[in-house]
Amino acid sequence: MAELLNVSSNPHVRDNKTTGRIMCDVIIALIPASVFGIYHFGVRALLIILVTIASCVISETVYDKLMKKKLTIGDLSAVVTGLLLALNLPVEIPVWIAVLGGIFAIIVVKMIFGGLGQNFMNPALGARCFLLLSFTGQMTRFTLDGITTATPLYNIKNGADYHVLKMFLGTTAGTIGETSTLAILVGALYLLVMRIIDLRIPLCYIGTFTLFAMIYSACHGGLDFTYLAGQLCGGGLMLGAWFMATDYVTSPITPGGRILYGVCLGLLTGCFRILATATAAPEGVSYAIIFCNLLVPLIEKITIPKSFGKEAKKK
Amino acid sequence: MSILTFRGGIHPYEGKELSKDSPIKEYIPKGEVAISMSQHIGAPAKPVVKKGDSVLVGQLIGEAAGFISANVHSSVSGKVKAVEKRFIVNGGKAECVIIENDGNFEEVTYEQPTSCENLTREEIIGLVKAAGVVGMGGAGFPTNVKLSPKNVDDIDYIIVNGSECEPYLTSDYRRMIENPELLIGGLKIMLRLFDKAKGIIAVEDNKPDAIARLKECLAGEDNIEVKKLYTKYPQGAERMLIYAVTGRKINSSKLPADAGCIVDNVDTVFAIYHAVSYGKPLIKRVITVTGDAVANPQNFLVPVGTNHSELIEAAGGFVSEPSKIISGGPMMGMAISSLDVPVTKTSSSLLCYTRDPLVDISQTNCINCGRCVKVCPGRVLPSRLAKFSARGDMESFLKYDGLECCECGCCSYICPAKINLTQAIKTMRKKALAARKK
């Protein structure tokens, strides 16, 4: 033992959970929704998923290479972004639009702000909103078995028929990964069991939105539980609340902030979905989330927890 | 019996099975001993012997130099070889008295108190002070100062910290199951200092036999209670322990006495017992020598000043080349660059890893996951504080209560991006505390 031993600052041990492992768990949790999407919409859904993931991973690789940075795709976050974006696209979307979405998500929303952890907006949702504005037609054309079909949410908004059980199971029109509430909840349960997410954001989000819808429904001809169930299972609410609002990077770090963030999301989604008069696109989840992403620094600022032993003093 | 705890904390691999069943073995040092004059927080002791002097076991060799300071005694008999600066555990150098051990262990005649029962408060504290007793859990705070709070009449609890939440350590555990009566004896002495205080021995529930053993010895005692704590790191952190046991919360700028508590570590209470009952100074402590690189992990009763390399030999040497050696536990211990440093009153363990657990780890960006916030027992925002530290932003660091960090290491442990949060926060805390002193 002639040489000196290694030294480092304490602690000298680390937990075995890494960023890559967490991302891997998120991917596992998205499998039920993805598999259901492929089963429901056909093999083209698989194509869109693979193409979008590839687009994201390649974009990140190229960016890292061009900027002469350490390759960061090992953390799997690009795969998560690609998968989430694909699940937010309609199955008939032209492949080139899906590719463009992946590039936008990674390069514009994430990498130019400094890569993972530095982006202030959820990359997948940023890209989805970009595509919605740029290619509204392609992004809002939903098909089922090759036939253009209205989404249940559109039907709710416009007074047409909708079937709550079908919405829960997911055999309706919509984006690849949003239709099946059941599949999403199975994945969400996995995230909860693996302690990847806590209940604060999704529960406050869904709870506030439910309250909003209840009040609205009560004011418009009495409380209608079918309407309520339809609102909960319809559109991107479940996918958004469990998988995108809970994105670490773009949600508050403070426990209190997560509650407030969830409440803000619920209120905004209610406004966009229910109060807004635009009948063509009754979806509000994506916009609500990316808008609230921008509020995160402010929310964190007002929800700094009281440190141990200082609670009573400040009361 | 309910299980007590606090919010936050982590569950690292405990590693206590390596050494928990090995009884405390007295180790007799072979070569010279190097007794540091700064084994405690505060001013280093002033050496009162010089080169060539003969000393006996228990003889005063360093005198407390100030209010926060402690006496230092010789742990062997022999000749003083030198009084010089030597490397100590923290990587720096400190003045040490080097004694050539003659192997006879001739002791000074201790002035044994006539009857322990009749001692006054001042006499008890005087004995503790004379014996150079300091907090042996790691901080090394002079115990006589701790036992003399301003609000003597407000002390409700004397808590013996037997949680031993730091992984791998088993020295306190062995003390508790081998000599519970001495521990209780020490606690009873402490209780005599405070009229209305109750004694509590707090033990984590991963040591059920220690809890049972203590309860057995306490049968019929109504002023001392054993409390079971949930096994979680840092359960033994002073503020977390007080909260778990009494429900009282104090922030970092307060003392346990402000919450009506005095907290002392197990080995410290043993030292108090020996100091007051027999007039014996603190010259030995129990050390766990453990880790996968050590042939026979075990617990030793070691004279202060013994070279760490002797302990490795006593534990059967290395089975494999170690790459990292830690004085103390893996969470709060100090990595040492060489074994050639002496044992002090605060050395609780010598932990040897064949493979440095940190070599393969590379740092990535913070993803704001909030795990550090969740585990932080001080309930601050570690990832934010670390950013302020990196930026040199002391104002924000203080605003976000950076001084409330107890440096337990939970945030670094849990971080999935493997950021050295604790290190960054410690760096800034040091600066902030230094700035405050000016």
> Is position B417 within any domain?
yes
> Is position A160 within any domain?
yes
> Is position B46 within any domain?
no
The verdict on a CB contact (< 8 Å) between A15 and B12 is yes
Closest A-chain CA to B355: A6
pLDDT of residue B187: 95
Residue B163 CB: number of other CB atoms within 10 A? Answer: 31
In the sheet that B198-204 helps form, which strands lie side by side, from edge to edge?
B3-4, B224-229, B198-204, B157-162, B261-265
Closest B-chain CA to A11: B331
> Is position B97 within any domain?
no
In the sheet that B349-353 helps form, which strands lie side by side, from edge to edge?
B25-26, B298-303, B284-290, B349-353, B324-327, B334-336
Range of the structural domain that residue A251 is part of: 19-303
Among B252, B278, B304, the domain boundary falls at B278
Indicate the helix (H) or strand (E) that contains B114.
none
Closest B-chain CA to A71: B364
The verdict on a CB contact (< 8 Å) between A15 and B10 is yes
Of B337, B365, B379, the CB nearest to A115: B365
- Among B111-125, B358-372, B422-436, the minimum mean pLDDT is found in B111-125
Do B246 and B385 share a domain, yes or no?
A: no
Q: Is the distance from CB of B370 to CB of B400 less than 8 angstroms? A: no
Q: Kindly provide the residue ranges of all beta strands, DSSP E only, lying in B56-146, ordered along the sequence.
A: 60-63, 72-73, 78-87, 93-101
Does the pLDDT value for residue A44 go beyond 50? yes
Please, which residues bridge with residue B203 across strands? B162, B228
Do B263 and B392 share a domain, yes or no?
A: no
> Is position B184 within any domain?
yes
The verdict on a CB contact (< 8 Å) between A5 and B416 is no
Of A19, A248, A304, the CB nearest to B364: A19
> Is position A212 within any domain?
yes
Of A6, A251, A309, the CB nearest to B335: A6
Among B232, B248, B278, the domain boundary falls at B278
> What's the rounded Cα separation, in Å, for the pair A88 and A283?
12
Residue B44 CB: number of other CB atoms within 10 A? Answer: 19
A contact test, residue of B251, B313, B320, B410 with most A CBs within 10 A: B251
Alpha helices in chain A (DSSP H): 19-41, 43-66, 77-87, 95-103, 123-134, 136-139, 152-157, 164-169, 181-193, 200-219, 225-233, 237-239, 255-270, 285-302, 311-314
> What's the rounded Cα separation, in Å, for the pair B309 and B280?
27
Q: Is B349 on the interface with A (CB under 8 A)?
A: no
> At what angle are helices B180-191 and B171-178 packed, to 10 degrees?
90
Residue B192 CB: number of other CB atoms within 10 A? Answer: 15
CA–CA min distance B9, chain A (Å): 13
Tell me how many domains chain A contains: 1
Look up the pTM and report it. 0.92
Average pLDDT, chain B: 92
Range of the structural domain that residue B189 is part of: 3-16+115-278
Q: Which residues numbered 158-197 in B keep a CB inside 8 Å of some CB on A? A: 167
Of A12, A72, A312, the CB nearest to B326: A12
pLDDT of residue A278: 63
pLDDT of residue B432: 93
> What's the rounded Cα separation, in Å, for the pair B27 and B343?
12
Q: Which residues numbered 364-423 in B keep a CB inside 8 Å of some CB on A? A: 364-370, 373-374, 377-381, 383-384, 400-401, 404, 407, 409-410, 412-418, 420, 422-423
B contact test, residue of A70, A71, A307, A315 with most B CBs within 10 A: A307
> Is position A221 within any domain?
yes
Tell me how many domains chain B contains: 2
The verdict on a CB contact (< 8 Å) between B383 and A253 is yes
Partners of residue B430 in chain A, C-beta under 8 Å? none
pLDDT of residue A282: 61
Radius of gyration of chain A (CA): 21
Q: Tell me what the mean pLDDT of segment B351-375 comes to.
A: 92
pLDDT of residue B361: 86
Indicate the helix (H) or strand (E) that contains B300.
strand B298-303
Does the pLDDT value for residue B92 go beyond 90? no
> Is position A177 within any domain?
yes
Of A9, A254, A255, the CB nearest to B423: A9
Of B91, B250, B373, the CB nearest to A254: B373
Q: Which pLDDT band holds residue B253 (cuts at 50, 70, 90)? A: confident
pLDDT of residue A314: 41
pLDDT of residue B360: 83
Partners of residue A116 in chain B, C-beta under 8 Å? 364-365, 367
Partners of residue A18 in chain B, C-beta under 8 Å? 364, 416-418
- Per-residue pLDDT tens digits for A150-199: 888 888 888 888 889 999 999 999 999 999 999 999 999 999 999 999 99
CA–CA min distance A308, chain B (Å): 5
Of B359, B374, B409, the CB nearest to A10: B409
Question: Could you give the count of Cα atoms lying within 13 Å of A255 in the half-sphere of its Cβ?
Answer: 14
Does the pLDDT value for residue B144 go beyond 80? yes
> Is position B346 within any domain?
no
Does the pLDDT value for residue A211 go beyond 50? yes
pLDDT of residue A284: 86
Q: Which pLDDT band holds residue A2 (cuts at 50, 70, 90)? A: very low
> Is position B295 within any domain?
no
> What's the rounded Cα separation, in Å, for the pair B163 and B222?
22
b/e per residue A291-310 (b: at least 16 CB within 10 A): bbbebbeebbeebbbbbbbb
Partners of residue A71 in chain B, C-beta under 8 Å? none
Q: Tell me what the mean pLDDT of segment A237-251 comes to.
A: 96
Per DSSP bridges, beta strands B324-327 and B334-336 are: antiparallel
Give the distance, in angstroms, between the CA of residue A173 and the centroid of all CA atoms in the same chain: 19
Closest A-chain CA to B367: A117
Does the pLDDT value for residue B389 go beyond 60? yes
> Is position A149 within any domain?
yes
The verdict on a CB contact (< 8 Å) between A5 and B322 is yes
A contact test, residue of B238, B261, B368 with most A CBs within 10 A: B368
A contact test, residue of B239, B379, B383, B411 with most A CBs within 10 A: B379
pLDDT of residue A248: 95
Closest A-chain CA to B427: A9
Of A15, A248, A253, the CB nearest to B381: A253
HEC string of A201-270 equals HHHHHHHHHHHHHHHHHHHCCCCCHHHHHHHHHCCCHHHHHHHHCCCCCCCCCCHHHHHHHHHHHHHHHH
Q: Is the distance from CB of A200 to CB of A248 less than 8 angstroms? A: no
pLDDT of residue A291: 94
> Is position B171 within any domain?
yes
Closest B-chain CA to A310: B251
Per DSSP bridges, beta strands B157-162 and B198-204 are: parallel
What value of ipTM does the predicted structure carry?
0.90
Do B376 and B272 share a domain, yes or no?
A: no
Instruction: Give the A:B interface size as CB pairs under 8 Å.
Output: 167
Q: Is B246 on the interface with A (CB under 8 A)?
A: no
Q: Is the distance from CB of B121 to CB of B59 less than 8 angstroms? A: no
Burial (Cβ within 10 Å: 0-12, 13-18, ≥19) of residue B315: buried
> Is position B343 within any domain?
no
Of A4, A19, A307, the CB nearest to B404: A307
Closest A-chain CA to B365: A117
Q: Is B433 on the interface with A (CB under 8 A)?
A: no
Q: Tell me what the mean pLDDT of segment B182-204 comes to.
A: 94
CA–CA min distance B50, chain A (Å): 32
- Per-residue pLDDT tens digits for B34-90: 999 999 999 999 999 999 999 999 999 999 998 999 999 999 999 999 999 999 988
Among B240, B257, B278, the domain boundary falls at B278
The verdict on a CB contact (< 8 Å) between A14 and B418 is yes
CA–CA min distance B369, chain A (Å): 5
Question: Which CATH number does the domain housing residue A211 bear?
Answer: 1.10.3430
Question: Which CATH number does the domain housing residue B246 bear?
Answer: 3.40.50.11540
Q: What angle do CA A110, B416, A35 make, to 5 degrees?
A: 65
Indicate the helix (H) or strand (E) that contains B221.
none
Block residue for tokens 């004379």: B130
Instruction: Return the closest-CA partner of residue A273 out of A153, A168, A184.
Output: A153
- Per-residue pLDDT tens digits for A252-289: 999 999 999 999 999 999 998 888 776 555 678 999 99
Do B119 and B241 share a domain, yes or no?
A: yes
B contact test, residue of A7, A10, A77, A306 with most B CBs within 10 A: A10
Q: Tell me what the mean pLDDT of segment A128-155 comes to.
A: 88
